[in-house]
Amino acid sequence: MKGKIMLDSNKTYSAEEVYKSILRRIIKLELEPGQLISENQMSIDYGVSRSVIRNAFAKLAQLKFIEVRPQRGTYVTQMDLNYISDLLMLRTAVEKEVIYEMFTKLDDSARVELVKKLDKNIKEEEKYINEKNYSHNFAILDSEFHKTMIDSVNRYALVVILGDIMLHISRWRNFDVEFADRVHELIEEHKNIADGIRNNDLLRTQECMAIHLETITDIYESAIKQYPKYFKK
């Protein structure tokens, strides 16, 4: 799905930078699900020793982003839609609880200020409404939209706790947004969430958040049909 990236041949990469770079390439689908990767090639690409790559691979294996198949090699893991669905349910539960606290712990004036921040964020998002993929700028704004809500009730530690496993949602999001051309839909869903808060409608806001985060059902069959190698059977 993604084009090949060009690494900076003049840059000296630290071990941590190598690890983060490979992780980022996997999440952004530049290294595709099911793709064979090798220590030798990575060491050449980054200009580092094989031991550096081996350590990076070990960390990525712990996060379940790569797997070693005996006598076959090292592969980027395929996306497991059942696992991702469970993670999305967990993320939805967290954000619905955040919304509940917003309505029960914040006073009216605090919620008004929150909506102003969300509206400002959405206005910036609209600059990228015609983007076909999950571009860098829009992805940051999308993350900030949710962070603004979670920070309003001082619950962002929950997201940090779930950080590593939620990286699998990030990879799915990169696929989902480009596959279904969903940037405009995400913006509309953000508007619906903000409107729910604006109208003091707790249940509606929670419902809009659930719709926003549940992204598998509508494209499940077509995604697997078009990209069968991307998904775990």
pLDDT tens track for 168-225: 999 999 999 989 889 999 999 999 999 999 999 999 999 999 999 998 988 999 999 9
Contact 32, 76 (CB under 8 A): yes
The gap from C-alpha 18 to its chain's centroid, in whole angstroms, comes to 20
Angle between helices 183-198 and 108-125 (to 10 degrees): 160
Q: Is the pLDDT of residue 4 over 90?
A: no
Q: What is the pLDDT of residue 233?
A: 85
- Name residue, tokens 């309505």: 103
Q: Is the pLDDT of residue 3 over 70?
A: no
User: Tens digit of pLDDT for each residue in 159-180?
Assistant: 888 888 889 999 999 999 989 8
User: Tens digit of pLDDT for each residue in 31-73?
Assistant: 999 999 999 999 999 999 999 999 999 999 999 999 998 889 9
Q: What is the pLDDT of residue 124?
A: 97
d(CA 12, CA 18) in angstroms, rounded, equals 10
- 130: its two tokens: 């015609």
Percent of the chain with pLDDT over 70: 96
User: Tens digit of pLDDT for each residue in 108-122?
Assistant: 999 999 999 999 999
- Once rounded to an integer, what is the mean pLDDT over residues 115-133? 94
The per-residue DSSP string of 120-139 comes to HHHHHHGGGTT-SS--HHHH
How would you class 1 by CB atoms within 10 Å of its CB: exposed for 0-12, middle for 13-18, buried for 19 or more? Answer: middle
Say how many CA atoms lie within 13 Å of 22 toward its Cβ: 30
d(CA 204, CA 27) in angstroms, rounded, equals 32
- 200: its two tokens: 């003091």
* Closest alpha carbon to 193 in 123, 119, 143, 85: 119
d(CA 12, CA 49) in angstroms, rounded, equals 12
d(CA 225, CA 233) in angstroms, rounded, equals 12
